[in-house]
Structure 1
Amino acid sequence: MDRTAPNTFATKKEAEIWLTKKEAELLAGDWLNPDLGKVAFKEYGSTWIDERPGLRPKTVQLYEGLLRIHLLPSFGNCAMSEVKVAHIRKWRKQLLDKG
């Protein structure tokens, strides 16, 4: 799929450098589709559980409960790209502090 650059470049050289970096990311398997980061955490979490067909019903129930009780209140309305390591550390610390 073709994608456009996020901005225009002042020179052709700058555009070529950007393109070379993106091609290197693709070859290394490091490129991330920016559209995927727009998915809501709530949707991602539900899909993550649904995409594990081998889970036993009790495990699905457990995961859905953990998602609903512990994760969605903090991250549910965030886009996946908004959830950063610092947010997760703060969330984890708050849970640990509550016991």
Structure 2
Amino acid sequence: MFVVATIMIILGMVLTLMRLFGGPTVYDRVLAVNLFGTLTVLLIAVKGFLSGRPDFLDIALLYALINFVGTIAVLKFFRYRAIGDYARTRDDEEEQS
């Protein structure tokens, strides 16, 4: 059963890579990278169960958190063109002058 799940996850990863390279917009590509990360988490978990080492779930959870935070950071960058608090608009600069 886990072997079939592994094959289906890898098939999903291949389809996601096709969407990543063929996506017409940046947001399609970000969504594809996020989905690829989620499928990687699933693959790590299934690999842990196949090898009899359920402690791979800790690694999968850590990777899931990194994937989530990374996706939020990339989307924030594409929206505001800055990551930190240094994102200023023209109105803020004119008020300070």
The structure carrying a bigger helix percent of its residues is 2
Fold-level match, TM-score > 0.5?
no
- Considering Cα pairs closer than 8 Å and 6+ residues apart, tell me whether 1 or 2 has the greater RCO: 1
TM-score by length of 1: 0.34
